[in-house]
Structure 1
Protein backbone atom coordinates (compact mmCIF):
# COMPACT_ATOMS: atom_id res chain seq x y z
CA UNK A 1 0.00 0.00 0.00
CA UNK A 2 1.05 3.61 -0.59
CA UNK A 3 0.81 5.43 2.75
CA UNK A 4 1.31 9.12 3.53
CA UNK A 5 2.25 9.99 7.13
CA UNK A 6 2.40 13.57 8.38
CA UNK A 7 4.70 14.04 11.35
CA UNK A 8 6.31 10.70 10.55
CA UNK A 9 9.73 11.68 11.89
CA UNK A 10 8.40 12.28 15.40
CA UNK A 11 8.09 9.94 18.35
CA UNK A 12 4.86 8.16 17.41
CA UNK A 13 5.44 8.40 13.67
CA UNK A 14 8.87 6.81 13.75
CA UNK A 15 7.60 3.68 15.51
CA UNK A 16 4.56 3.41 13.23
CA UNK A 17 6.74 3.73 10.14
CA UNK A 18 9.11 1.03 11.39
CA UNK A 19 6.10 -1.30 11.55
CA UNK A 20 4.70 -0.26 8.15
CA UNK A 21 8.06 -0.59 6.40
CA UNK A 22 8.58 -4.04 7.92
CA UNK A 23 5.15 -5.01 6.58
CA UNK A 24 6.22 -4.02 3.06
CA UNK A 25 4.31 -0.75 2.54
CA UNK A 26 5.56 2.25 0.55
CA UNK A 27 5.82 5.23 2.89
CA UNK A 28 5.96 8.96 2.24
CA UNK A 29 6.58 11.26 5.21
CA UNK A 30 5.84 14.97 5.58
CA UNK A 31 7.72 16.61 8.44
CA UNK A 32 9.44 19.94 9.11
CA UNK A 33 11.46 18.43 12.02
CA UNK A 34 10.43 21.33 14.26
CA UNK A 35 9.83 19.01 17.22
CA UNK A 36 12.17 16.15 16.27
CA UNK A 37 15.30 15.33 18.29
CA UNK A 38 15.81 11.58 17.85
CA UNK A 39 15.37 11.19 14.10
CA UNK A 40 14.84 7.58 13.09
CA UNK A 41 13.52 7.46 9.53
CA UNK A 42 14.45 4.37 7.49
CA UNK A 43 16.24 5.01 4.17
CA UNK A 44 13.34 3.51 2.23
CA UNK A 45 11.02 6.36 3.25
CA UNK A 46 10.17 9.12 0.76
CA UNK A 47 10.64 12.42 2.65
CA UNK A 48 8.90 15.71 1.95
CA UNK A 49 10.41 18.34 4.26
CA UNK A 50 8.07 21.18 5.19
CA UNK A 51 5.09 22.28 7.25
CA UNK A 52 2.01 20.20 6.58
CA UNK A 53 -0.14 23.33 6.07
CA UNK A 54 2.20 24.53 3.27
CA UNK A 55 2.90 21.29 1.39
CA UNK A 56 1.52 20.67 -2.10
CA UNK A 57 1.22 17.02 -3.15
CA UNK A 58 -0.16 15.61 -6.39
CA UNK A 59 0.56 11.93 -5.67
CA UNK A 60 -2.27 9.62 -4.66
CA UNK A 61 -2.23 7.28 -1.68
CA UNK A 62 -4.16 4.33 -0.28
CA UNK A 63 -3.91 5.51 3.33
CA UNK A 64 -3.26 8.90 4.92
CA UNK A 65 -2.15 9.10 8.57
CA UNK A 66 -2.18 12.57 10.12
CA UNK A 67 0.17 12.78 13.12
CA UNK A 68 1.77 16.21 12.69
CA UNK A 69 1.26 18.29 15.85
CA UNK A 70 3.02 19.91 18.80
CA UNK A 71 1.90 17.57 21.63
CA UNK A 72 4.07 18.85 24.50
CA UNK A 73 2.20 21.36 26.72
CA UNK A 74 5.23 23.59 27.36
CA UNK A 75 5.97 23.61 23.62
CA UNK A 76 2.48 24.34 22.34
CA UNK A 77 1.99 27.03 24.98
CA UNK A 78 5.09 28.73 23.55
CA UNK A 79 3.95 28.23 19.93
CA UNK A 80 0.15 28.64 20.01
CA UNK A 81 -0.29 29.89 16.44
CA UNK A 82 1.83 27.14 14.87
CA UNK A 83 -0.01 24.60 17.02
CA UNK A 84 -3.44 25.80 15.93
CA UNK A 85 -2.39 25.91 12.27
CA UNK A 86 -1.14 22.32 12.12
CA UNK A 87 -4.40 21.19 13.73
CA UNK A 88 -6.59 23.22 11.38
CA UNK A 89 -5.05 24.02 7.99
CA UNK A 90 -2.82 20.98 8.29
CA UNK A 91 -5.83 18.75 8.86
CA UNK A 92 -7.66 20.38 5.96
CA UNK A 93 -4.68 19.71 3.65
CA UNK A 94 -4.55 16.05 4.68
CA UNK A 95 -8.29 15.68 4.19
CA UNK A 96 -8.05 17.10 0.68
CA UNK A 97 -5.24 14.68 -0.17
CA UNK A 98 -7.38 11.85 1.20
CA UNK A 99 -10.44 12.96 -0.77
CA UNK A 100 -8.54 13.29 -4.07
CA UNK A 101 -6.92 9.90 -3.50
CA UNK A 102 -10.17 8.22 -2.38
CA UNK A 103 -8.04 6.94 0.49
CA UNK A 104 -8.59 5.97 4.12
CA UNK A 105 -7.58 8.64 6.64
CA UNK A 106 -6.54 7.93 10.23
CA UNK A 107 -6.30 10.99 12.45
CA UNK A 108 -4.34 10.95 15.68
CA UNK A 109 -6.28 13.27 17.92
CA UNK A 110 -5.62 13.43 21.67
CA UNK A 111 -7.12 12.71 25.06
CA UNK A 112 -6.81 16.49 25.48
CA UNK A 113 -10.14 16.82 23.65
CA UNK A 114 -11.77 15.71 26.92
CA UNK A 115 -10.17 18.54 28.93
CA UNK A 116 -10.82 18.22 32.67
CA UNK A 117 -13.07 15.19 32.25
CA UNK A 118 -15.83 14.63 34.77
CA UNK A 119 -16.11 10.92 33.90
CA UNK A 120 -13.10 8.69 34.67
CA UNK A 121 -12.30 6.40 32.86
CA UNK A 122 -13.53 8.58 29.99
CA UNK A 123 -15.56 7.06 27.13
CA UNK A 124 -15.61 8.30 23.53
CA UNK A 125 -19.20 9.51 24.05
CA UNK A 126 -18.09 12.13 26.59
CA UNK A 127 -18.19 15.63 25.04
CA UNK A 128 -15.40 17.13 27.09
CA UNK A 129 -14.87 20.05 29.45
CA UNK A 130 -12.38 22.40 27.80
CA UNK A 131 -11.57 26.07 28.40
CA UNK A 132 -11.99 27.50 24.86
CA UNK A 133 -9.78 30.56 25.54
CA UNK A 134 -7.36 29.10 28.08
CA UNK A 135 -3.61 28.77 27.71
CA UNK A 136 -3.98 25.17 26.47
CA UNK A 137 -6.83 25.92 24.05
CA UNK A 138 -4.49 26.34 21.07
CA UNK A 139 -3.99 22.57 21.26
CA UNK A 140 -7.16 21.29 22.91
CA UNK A 141 -9.63 23.25 20.80
CA UNK A 142 -7.74 22.82 17.53
CA UNK A 143 -7.73 19.06 18.09
CA UNK A 144 -11.48 19.26 18.68
CA UNK A 145 -11.85 21.34 15.52
CA UNK A 146 -9.86 18.75 13.56
CA UNK A 147 -12.25 16.05 14.69
CA UNK A 148 -15.24 18.20 13.70
CA UNK A 149 -13.75 18.91 10.27
CA UNK A 150 -12.90 15.25 9.70
CA UNK A 151 -16.40 14.09 10.56
CA UNK A 152 -17.77 16.86 8.30
CA UNK A 153 -15.83 15.34 5.38
CA UNK A 154 -17.26 11.96 6.34
CA UNK A 155 -20.83 13.29 6.36
CA UNK A 156 -20.59 15.49 3.25
CA UNK A 157 -18.26 13.46 1.03
CA UNK A 158 -18.56 9.96 2.48
CA UNK A 159 -14.82 9.93 3.18
CA UNK A 160 -13.48 6.88 5.02
CA UNK A 161 -12.05 8.52 8.14
CA UNK A 162 -11.09 7.01 11.48
CA UNK A 163 -10.10 8.98 14.60
CA UNK A 164 -8.01 7.77 17.51
CA UNK A 165 -7.48 9.55 20.83
CA UNK A 166 -4.17 8.43 22.41
CA UNK A 167 -3.63 8.69 26.16
CA UNK A 168 -0.11 9.51 27.37
CA UNK A 169 1.96 7.28 25.11
CA UNK A 170 5.60 6.88 26.17
CA UNK A 171 8.72 4.97 25.18
CA UNK A 172 12.18 5.37 23.60
CA UNK A 173 12.77 8.36 21.28
CA UNK A 174 10.44 10.55 23.36
CA UNK A 175 12.06 13.95 23.85
CA UNK A 176 13.09 14.88 27.37
CA UNK A 177 14.62 18.31 26.87
CA UNK A 178 13.45 21.86 27.43
CA UNK A 179 9.91 22.77 26.49
CA UNK A 180 9.45 19.51 24.55
CA UNK A 181 9.98 17.09 27.43
CA UNK A 182 6.96 15.15 28.59
CA UNK A 183 6.55 13.64 31.99
CA UNK A 184 7.95 10.10 31.55
CA UNK A 185 10.98 11.08 29.48
CA UNK A 186 11.67 14.16 31.63
CA UNK A 187 11.53 12.19 34.88
CA UNK A 188 13.81 9.45 33.51
CA UNK A 189 16.34 11.96 32.19
CA UNK A 190 16.35 13.93 35.46
CA UNK A 191 16.76 10.75 37.49
CA UNK A 192 19.65 9.47 35.39
CA UNK A 193 21.40 12.84 35.52
CA UNK A 194 20.85 13.22 39.27
CA UNK A 195 18.82 16.40 38.80
CA UNK A 196 15.69 17.28 40.75
CA UNK A 197 12.54 15.50 39.57
CA UNK A 198 10.26 18.45 38.77
CA UNK A 199 6.52 18.01 39.33
CA UNK A 200 3.99 20.70 38.47
CA UNK A 201 1.51 20.93 41.36
CA UNK A 202 1.41 18.48 44.27
CA UNK A 203 1.69 15.33 42.14
CA UNK A 204 -1.78 14.05 42.97
CA UNK A 205 -2.93 14.47 39.38
CA UNK A 206 -3.24 11.17 37.51
CA UNK A 207 -2.45 9.87 34.05
CA UNK A 208 -2.87 6.43 32.44
CA UNK A 209 0.30 5.54 30.54
CA UNK A 210 0.52 3.49 27.34
CA UNK A 211 3.73 1.99 25.95
CA UNK A 212 4.42 2.87 22.33
CA UNK A 213 4.35 -0.74 21.06
CA UNK A 214 0.75 -1.06 22.26
CA UNK A 215 -0.10 2.20 20.49
CA UNK A 216 1.38 0.94 17.20
CA UNK A 217 -0.65 -2.26 17.43
CA UNK A 218 -3.88 -0.34 17.98
CA UNK A 219 -3.10 2.13 15.20
CA UNK A 220 -2.48 -0.54 12.57
CA UNK A 221 -5.76 -2.18 13.53
CA UNK A 222 -7.59 1.13 13.14
CA UNK A 223 -5.93 1.61 9.75
CA UNK A 224 -6.52 -1.74 8.15
CA UNK A 225 -9.61 -3.33 9.69
CA UNK A 226 -12.61 -2.96 7.38
CA UNK A 227 -15.87 -1.29 8.36
CA UNK A 228 -14.55 1.44 10.69
CA UNK A 229 -15.65 4.42 8.61
CA UNK A 230 -16.45 7.41 10.84
CA UNK A 231 -15.44 5.64 14.06
CA UNK A 232 -13.63 7.23 17.03
CA UNK A 233 -11.49 5.17 19.43
CA UNK A 234 -9.72 5.79 22.70
CA UNK A 235 -6.23 4.27 22.57
CA UNK A 236 -4.88 4.15 26.08
CA UNK A 237 -5.00 2.54 29.48
CA UNK A 238 -7.73 2.57 32.11
CA UNK A 239 -5.20 2.28 34.95
CA UNK A 240 -4.59 5.63 36.64
CA UNK A 241 -1.27 6.51 38.22
CA UNK A 242 -0.48 9.57 40.33
CA UNK A 243 2.35 11.66 38.93
CA UNK A 244 4.17 11.56 42.27
CA UNK A 245 3.92 7.74 42.23
CA UNK A 246 5.40 7.71 38.71
CA UNK A 247 8.29 9.84 39.95
CA UNK A 248 8.97 7.53 42.88
CA UNK A 249 8.76 4.44 40.66
CA UNK A 250 11.32 5.91 38.24
CA UNK A 251 13.58 6.87 41.17
CA UNK A 252 13.45 3.27 42.43
CA UNK A 253 13.99 1.72 38.99
CA UNK A 254 16.99 3.94 38.20
CA UNK A 255 18.49 3.86 41.69
CA UNK A 256 18.71 7.62 41.48
CA UNK A 257 19.44 9.93 44.43
CA UNK A 258 17.46 12.75 42.82
CA UNK A 259 14.99 14.65 44.94
CA UNK A 260 11.43 15.51 44.01
CA UNK A 261 10.86 19.25 43.56
CA UNK A 262 7.31 20.60 43.39
CA UNK A 263 6.65 23.57 41.10
CA UNK A 264 3.54 25.76 40.72
CA UNK A 265 0.71 23.91 38.92
CA UNK A 266 0.18 24.53 35.21
CA UNK A 267 -3.03 26.36 34.25
CA UNK A 268 -5.93 24.13 33.15
CA UNK A 269 -3.93 20.95 33.79
CA UNK A 270 -6.52 18.12 34.01
CA UNK A 271 -6.54 16.59 37.51
CA UNK A 272 -7.32 13.05 36.34
CA UNK A 273 -7.04 11.11 33.09
CA UNK A 274 -7.74 7.51 32.12
CA UNK A 275 -9.29 5.87 29.07
CA UNK A 276 -12.45 3.83 28.88
CA UNK A 277 -11.26 1.20 26.39
CA UNK A 278 -14.48 -0.79 26.18
CA UNK A 279 -15.12 0.19 22.55
CA UNK A 280 -11.63 -0.52 21.20
CA UNK A 281 -11.55 -3.85 23.07
CA UNK A 282 -14.93 -4.97 21.71
CA UNK A 283 -14.56 -3.71 18.11
CA UNK A 284 -10.85 -4.30 17.50
CA UNK A 285 -9.92 -6.92 20.07
CA UNK A 286 -7.19 -4.61 21.39
CA UNK A 287 -6.05 -3.80 24.89
CA UNK A 288 -2.69 -2.81 26.40
CA UNK A 289 -0.25 -5.66 26.82
CA UNK A 290 2.88 -3.96 28.21
CA UNK A 291 2.84 -3.30 32.00
CA UNK A 292 4.09 0.12 33.10
CA UNK A 293 7.13 -1.36 34.86
CA UNK A 294 8.18 -3.24 31.71
CA UNK A 295 7.67 -0.22 29.45
CA UNK A 296 9.57 2.04 31.84
CA UNK A 297 12.47 -0.43 31.97
CA UNK A 298 12.74 -0.42 28.16
CA UNK A 299 12.58 3.37 28.11
CA UNK A 300 15.15 3.76 30.91
CA UNK A 301 17.54 1.34 29.16
CA UNK A 302 17.24 3.39 25.94
CA UNK A 303 17.92 6.68 27.74
CA UNK A 304 20.95 5.16 29.46
CA UNK A 305 22.44 4.52 26.03
CA UNK A 306 21.52 7.97 24.73
CA UNK A 307 23.04 9.98 27.57
CA UNK A 308 26.04 7.75 28.29
Structure 2
Protein backbone atom coordinates (compact mmCIF):
# COMPACT_ATOMS: atom_id res chain seq x y z
CA UNK A 1 0.00 0.00 0.00
CA UNK A 2 1.17 3.55 -0.75
CA UNK A 3 0.77 6.05 2.10
CA UNK A 4 1.59 9.74 2.51
CA UNK A 5 2.47 10.86 6.04
CA UNK A 6 2.60 14.56 6.84
CA UNK A 7 4.60 15.50 9.92
CA UNK A 8 6.60 12.33 9.37
CA UNK A 9 9.70 13.86 10.95
CA UNK A 10 7.82 15.06 14.04
CA UNK A 11 7.48 13.72 17.56
CA UNK A 12 4.70 11.27 16.67
CA UNK A 13 5.07 11.10 12.91
CA UNK A 14 8.53 9.53 12.83
CA UNK A 15 7.23 6.52 14.76
CA UNK A 16 4.08 6.21 12.64
CA UNK A 17 6.17 6.27 9.46
CA UNK A 18 8.60 3.70 10.88
CA UNK A 19 5.73 1.38 11.82
CA UNK A 20 4.26 1.61 8.32
CA UNK A 21 7.65 0.88 6.73
CA UNK A 22 8.15 -2.08 9.09
CA UNK A 23 4.78 -3.43 7.98
CA UNK A 24 6.03 -3.48 4.39
CA UNK A 25 4.24 -0.46 2.95
CA UNK A 26 5.52 2.21 0.55
CA UNK A 27 5.73 5.39 2.61
CA UNK A 28 6.15 9.00 1.49
CA UNK A 29 6.77 11.74 4.06
CA UNK A 30 6.47 15.52 3.81
CA UNK A 31 9.10 17.69 5.48
CA UNK A 32 10.00 21.38 5.45
CA UNK A 33 13.68 20.45 5.11
CA UNK A 34 15.69 17.78 3.35
CA UNK A 35 16.18 14.89 5.77
CA UNK A 36 16.76 11.16 5.56
CA UNK A 37 14.09 8.85 6.96
CA UNK A 38 14.88 5.14 6.68
CA UNK A 39 12.59 3.41 4.21
CA UNK A 40 10.71 6.58 3.25
CA UNK A 41 10.79 8.95 0.31
CA UNK A 42 10.86 12.53 1.59
CA UNK A 43 8.98 15.30 -0.23
CA UNK A 44 10.27 18.75 0.77
CA UNK A 45 7.92 21.70 0.99
CA UNK A 46 5.61 23.86 3.07
CA UNK A 47 2.08 22.50 3.51
CA UNK A 48 0.75 26.04 3.80
CA UNK A 49 1.39 26.26 0.04
CA UNK A 50 -1.12 24.52 -2.23
CA UNK A 51 1.68 23.76 -4.69
CA UNK A 52 3.42 21.63 -2.06
CA UNK A 53 0.19 19.77 -1.30
CA UNK A 54 -0.46 19.04 -4.96
CA UNK A 55 3.16 18.04 -5.62
CA UNK A 56 3.23 15.67 -2.63
CA UNK A 57 -0.02 14.00 -3.68
CA UNK A 58 1.14 13.73 -7.29
CA UNK A 59 4.46 12.13 -6.33
CA UNK A 60 3.11 9.80 -3.65
CA UNK A 61 -0.19 8.89 -5.33
CA UNK A 62 -1.28 7.53 -1.94
CA UNK A 63 -4.16 5.24 -1.24
CA UNK A 64 -4.11 6.47 2.37
CA UNK A 65 -3.19 9.88 3.80
CA UNK A 66 -2.03 10.13 7.42
CA UNK A 67 -1.98 13.81 8.39
CA UNK A 68 -0.02 14.48 11.59
CA UNK A 69 1.57 17.85 10.80
CA UNK A 70 0.56 20.79 13.03
CA UNK A 71 2.39 23.36 15.16
CA UNK A 72 2.70 22.04 18.72
CA UNK A 73 5.64 24.16 19.92
CA UNK A 74 5.83 23.69 23.67
CA UNK A 75 4.37 26.55 25.67
CA UNK A 76 3.17 28.46 22.60
CA UNK A 77 0.71 26.41 20.58
CA UNK A 78 -2.40 26.60 22.75
CA UNK A 79 -3.31 30.12 21.61
CA UNK A 80 -1.03 30.63 18.60
CA UNK A 81 -2.57 32.34 15.57
CA UNK A 82 -0.80 29.72 13.43
CA UNK A 83 -3.55 27.28 14.45
CA UNK A 84 -5.77 29.07 11.91
CA UNK A 85 -3.19 28.50 9.19
CA UNK A 86 -2.97 24.81 10.05
CA UNK A 87 -6.75 24.43 10.02
CA UNK A 88 -6.92 26.03 6.57
CA UNK A 89 -3.97 23.96 5.27
CA UNK A 90 -5.55 20.75 6.55
CA UNK A 91 -8.85 21.49 4.82
CA UNK A 92 -7.00 22.26 1.57
CA UNK A 93 -5.05 19.01 1.95
CA UNK A 94 -8.20 16.95 2.49
CA UNK A 95 -9.94 18.57 -0.48
CA UNK A 96 -6.94 18.02 -2.77
CA UNK A 97 -6.52 14.43 -1.58
CA UNK A 98 -10.16 13.68 -2.34
CA UNK A 99 -9.78 15.16 -5.81
CA UNK A 100 -6.69 12.98 -6.38
CA UNK A 101 -8.67 9.87 -5.46
CA UNK A 102 -7.22 9.13 -2.01
CA UNK A 103 -9.38 6.39 -0.52
CA UNK A 104 -8.80 6.97 3.20
CA UNK A 105 -7.64 9.90 5.33
CA UNK A 106 -6.64 9.88 8.99
CA UNK A 107 -5.88 13.08 10.91
CA UNK A 108 -4.62 13.85 14.41
CA UNK A 109 -6.84 15.56 16.94
CA UNK A 110 -6.54 16.22 20.67
CA UNK A 111 -8.20 15.13 23.89
CA UNK A 112 -8.67 18.83 24.62
CA UNK A 113 -11.60 18.82 22.20
CA UNK A 114 -13.63 17.06 24.92
CA UNK A 115 -15.67 18.68 27.68
CA UNK A 116 -13.36 17.82 30.58
CA UNK A 117 -15.45 19.35 33.36
CA UNK A 118 -17.11 16.08 34.41
CA UNK A 119 -13.80 14.31 35.24
CA UNK A 120 -15.30 11.14 33.70
CA UNK A 121 -13.54 8.85 31.23
CA UNK A 122 -13.50 10.45 27.77
CA UNK A 123 -15.57 8.39 25.34
CA UNK A 124 -15.79 9.07 21.61
CA UNK A 125 -19.47 8.11 21.72
CA UNK A 126 -20.78 9.80 24.85
CA UNK A 127 -18.48 12.62 26.02
CA UNK A 128 -19.55 16.10 24.93
CA UNK A 129 -17.25 18.29 22.84
CA UNK A 130 -16.30 21.65 24.37
CA UNK A 131 -12.81 22.86 23.36
CA UNK A 132 -11.60 25.96 25.19
CA UNK A 133 -8.27 26.91 23.56
CA UNK A 134 -7.61 28.16 20.04
CA UNK A 135 -5.64 24.98 19.35
CA UNK A 136 -8.46 22.67 20.40
CA UNK A 137 -11.16 24.78 18.73
CA UNK A 138 -9.14 24.77 15.48
CA UNK A 139 -8.72 21.00 15.65
CA UNK A 140 -12.40 20.40 16.32
CA UNK A 141 -13.52 22.77 13.56
CA UNK A 142 -11.19 21.02 11.12
CA UNK A 143 -12.59 17.63 12.13
CA UNK A 144 -16.17 18.75 11.63
CA UNK A 145 -15.49 20.13 8.17
CA UNK A 146 -13.44 17.11 7.05
CA UNK A 147 -15.96 14.64 8.45
CA UNK A 148 -18.87 16.31 6.69
CA UNK A 149 -16.87 16.50 3.45
CA UNK A 150 -16.11 12.78 3.74
CA UNK A 151 -19.79 11.95 4.24
CA UNK A 152 -20.79 13.70 1.00
CA UNK A 153 -17.69 12.73 -1.01
CA UNK A 154 -17.45 9.05 -0.12
CA UNK A 155 -13.90 8.67 1.20
CA UNK A 156 -13.07 7.05 4.54
CA UNK A 157 -12.21 9.49 7.32
CA UNK A 158 -10.87 8.86 10.84
CA UNK A 159 -9.75 11.26 13.57
CA UNK A 160 -7.27 10.08 16.21
CA UNK A 161 -7.54 12.06 19.45
CA UNK A 162 -4.17 12.13 21.19
CA UNK A 163 -3.93 12.24 24.97
CA UNK A 164 -0.68 12.81 26.92
CA UNK A 165 2.69 11.70 25.54
CA UNK A 166 6.26 11.08 26.63
CA UNK A 167 9.29 9.44 25.07
CA UNK A 168 12.38 10.02 22.93
CA UNK A 169 12.84 13.51 21.43
CA UNK A 170 10.28 15.08 23.75
CA UNK A 171 10.80 18.77 24.55
CA UNK A 172 12.94 18.88 27.74
CA UNK A 173 10.48 21.20 29.49
CA UNK A 174 7.53 18.84 29.18
CA UNK A 175 6.57 16.94 32.32
CA UNK A 176 8.23 13.53 32.00
CA UNK A 177 11.38 14.88 30.37
CA UNK A 178 11.69 17.74 32.85
CA UNK A 179 11.58 15.29 35.77
CA UNK A 180 14.22 13.05 34.17
CA UNK A 181 16.58 15.84 33.13
CA UNK A 182 16.33 17.58 36.50
CA UNK A 183 17.17 14.41 38.42
CA UNK A 184 20.01 13.50 36.04
CA UNK A 185 21.45 16.99 36.53
CA UNK A 186 21.35 16.62 40.31
CA UNK A 187 18.54 19.16 40.72
CA UNK A 188 15.28 18.51 42.57
CA UNK A 189 12.35 17.89 40.23
CA UNK A 190 9.93 20.69 40.99
CA UNK A 191 6.27 19.74 40.60
CA UNK A 192 2.77 20.87 41.43
CA UNK A 193 0.73 18.92 43.96
CA UNK A 194 0.78 15.89 41.64
CA UNK A 195 -2.83 15.09 42.46
CA UNK A 196 -4.01 15.42 38.85
CA UNK A 197 -4.88 12.18 37.04
CA UNK A 198 -3.80 11.82 33.41
CA UNK A 199 -3.57 9.23 30.65
CA UNK A 200 0.03 8.94 29.39
CA UNK A 201 1.25 7.01 26.35
CA UNK A 202 4.75 6.50 25.03
CA UNK A 203 5.14 8.33 21.72
CA UNK A 204 6.37 5.16 20.02
CA UNK A 205 3.11 3.44 20.92
CA UNK A 206 1.10 6.48 19.79
CA UNK A 207 2.87 6.41 16.43
CA UNK A 208 2.18 2.70 16.03
CA UNK A 209 -1.46 3.26 17.01
CA UNK A 210 -1.82 5.89 14.28
CA UNK A 211 -0.23 3.51 11.79
CA UNK A 212 -2.73 0.81 12.80
CA UNK A 213 -5.62 3.27 12.48
CA UNK A 214 -4.41 4.32 9.02
CA UNK A 215 -4.27 0.69 7.88
CA UNK A 216 -7.69 -0.19 9.32
CA UNK A 217 -11.14 0.58 7.94
CA UNK A 218 -12.34 2.23 11.17
CA UNK A 219 -14.06 5.57 10.68
CA UNK A 220 -14.80 8.48 12.99
CA UNK A 221 -13.11 9.49 16.23
CA UNK A 222 -10.68 7.15 17.99
CA UNK A 223 -8.84 7.91 21.22
CA UNK A 224 -5.07 7.40 20.92
CA UNK A 225 -4.14 6.68 24.53
CA UNK A 226 -3.23 4.00 27.05
CA UNK A 227 -6.54 4.04 28.91
CA UNK A 228 -4.61 3.98 32.21
CA UNK A 229 -5.45 6.51 34.91
CA UNK A 230 -2.20 7.62 36.52
CA UNK A 231 -1.86 10.30 39.15
CA UNK A 232 1.03 12.63 38.29
CA UNK A 233 2.52 11.88 41.70
CA UNK A 234 2.50 8.16 40.83
CA UNK A 235 4.05 8.92 37.44
CA UNK A 236 6.86 10.87 39.08
CA UNK A 237 7.54 8.04 41.53
CA UNK A 238 7.69 5.54 38.63
CA UNK A 239 10.31 7.73 36.94
CA UNK A 240 12.22 8.12 40.20
CA UNK A 241 12.25 4.34 40.68
CA UNK A 242 13.41 3.78 37.08
CA UNK A 243 16.35 6.08 37.84
CA UNK A 244 17.38 4.09 40.87
CA UNK A 245 15.91 6.55 43.36
CA UNK A 246 18.44 9.30 42.69
CA UNK A 247 17.53 12.89 43.46
CA UNK A 248 14.48 14.49 45.02
CA UNK A 249 10.88 14.88 43.90
CA UNK A 250 9.58 18.14 45.33
CA UNK A 251 5.79 18.13 45.20
CA UNK A 252 3.98 21.43 45.77
CA UNK A 253 6.99 23.49 44.70
CA UNK A 254 4.94 24.75 41.74
CA UNK A 255 1.32 25.90 41.87
CA UNK A 256 -1.45 23.84 40.30
CA UNK A 257 -2.85 25.52 37.22
CA UNK A 258 -6.12 27.35 37.93
CA UNK A 259 -9.25 25.56 36.68
CA UNK A 260 -7.19 22.55 35.63
CA UNK A 261 -9.28 19.38 35.14
CA UNK A 262 -8.68 16.89 37.93
CA UNK A 263 -8.91 13.89 35.60
CA UNK A 264 -8.28 13.36 31.86
CA UNK A 265 -8.40 9.66 30.93
CA UNK A 266 -9.43 7.92 27.70
CA UNK A 267 -11.85 5.14 26.92
CA UNK A 268 -9.80 2.98 24.51
CA UNK A 269 -12.41 0.39 23.53
CA UNK A 270 -12.43 1.53 19.89
CA UNK A 271 -8.63 1.57 19.65
CA UNK A 272 -8.33 -1.85 21.29
CA UNK A 273 -11.32 -3.72 19.86
CA UNK A 274 -11.99 -2.09 16.48
CA UNK A 275 -8.52 -0.94 15.39
CA UNK A 276 -6.96 -3.91 17.17
CA UNK A 277 -4.05 -2.00 18.67
CA UNK A 278 -2.37 -3.09 21.88
CA UNK A 279 1.07 -1.80 22.97
CA UNK A 280 3.73 -4.47 23.36
CA UNK A 281 5.29 -2.86 26.44
CA UNK A 282 4.00 -1.44 29.70
CA UNK A 283 4.23 2.22 30.68
CA UNK A 284 6.79 1.25 33.33
CA UNK A 285 9.00 -0.36 30.65
CA UNK A 286 8.59 2.64 28.37
CA UNK A 287 9.49 5.05 31.17
CA UNK A 288 12.67 3.07 31.84
CA UNK A 289 13.56 3.23 28.14
CA UNK A 290 12.93 6.98 28.12
CA UNK A 291 15.23 7.44 31.12
CA UNK A 292 17.97 5.57 29.26
CA UNK A 293 17.36 7.63 26.12
CA UNK A 294 17.88 10.84 28.10
CA UNK A 295 20.96 9.44 29.84
CA UNK A 296 22.51 8.65 26.48
CA UNK A 297 21.42 11.96 24.95
CA UNK A 298 22.86 14.06 27.75
CA UNK A 299 26.04 11.99 27.86
CA UNK A 300 26.61 12.48 24.13
CA UNK A 301 25.99 16.22 24.43
CA UNK A 302 28.52 16.48 27.26
CA UNK A 303 31.32 15.00 25.14
CA UNK A 304 30.58 16.93 21.94
CA UNK A 305 33.31 19.42 21.00
CA UNK A 306 32.44 23.05 21.55
Tell me the TM-score range normalised by the shorter chain: 0.7 to 0.9
User: Quick one: structure 1 residues 115 and 195, their matched pair in 2 at CA, closer, same or farther if it must change by over 3 Å?
Assistant: farther
Are residues 207 and 47 of structure 1, via their aligned partners in 2, closer, same or farther at CA, if it must alter by over 3 Å? same
1:236 maps onto 2:235 in alignment: no
Q: Do the aligned partners of 1:52 and 1:90 also contact (CA within 8 Å) in 2?
A: yes
**Displacement, 1:243?**
1.4
Q: Which runs of 4+ in 1 moved over 6 A?
A: none
Which structure 1 residue ranges, 5 or more long, are not aligned? Answer: 34-38, 132-136
Q: CA deviation at 1:298?
A: 0.8
- 1:124-144 CA-to-partner distances (Å, cap 9, x unmatched) read 02123333xxxxx12111111
Q: Does 1:170 align with 2:153?
A: no
Please report how far the alpha carbon of residue 72 of structure 1 lies from its aligned counterpart in structure 2 after TM superposition.
Answer: 5.3
Instruction: State the partner residue of 2:136.
Output: 140
**What's the secondary structure of 1:9's corresponding residue?**
coil
- Residue in 1 aligned with 2:303? none
Superposed displacement of residue 115, structure 1: 4.6
Aligned-pair Cα RMSD in Å = 2.4
Aligned to 1:156: 152
Rounded Cα–Cα distance in structure 2 between residues aligned with 1:242 and 1:14: 28
Q: For 2:112 and 2:143, locate their aligned partners in 1 and report how far apart those are by CA, in whole Å.
A: 12
**Contact map agreement 1:207 1:240 (CA 8 A) in 2:** yes
Q: How far apart, in 2, do the equivalents of 1:142 and 1:107 lie?
A: 13
Partner of 1:263: helix, strand, or coil? coil
Whole-angstrom distance in 1 between the partners of 2:156 and 2:8: 21
The structure with more radius of gyration: 2
Q: How far is the alpha carbon of 1:245 from its aligned partner?
A: 2.2
**Which residue is equivalent to 1:68?**
69
Matches of 2:286 and 2:35 in 1, distance apart?
19
The answer for the alignment partner of 1:36 in structure 2 is none
Match of 1:257 in 2: 247
Pair 174,151 (structure 1): closer, same or farther in 2 beyond 3 Å: same
TM-score where L is the length of structure 1 = 0.84
Q: Alignment partner of 2:195: what SS? A: coil
- Report deviation, 1:73: 5.3
TM-score (normalised: structure 2): 0.84
- Residue 268 (structure 1) shift: 5.2
Question: Do the aligned partners of 2:35 and 2:42 also contact (CA within 8 Å) in 1?
Answer: no
Q: CA deviation digits over 1:164-186, x for unaligned, max 9?
A: 1122132222221xxxx322222
Q: 1:151 to 1:19 in 2, by over 3 A?
A: same
TM superposition shift of 1:276: 0.7
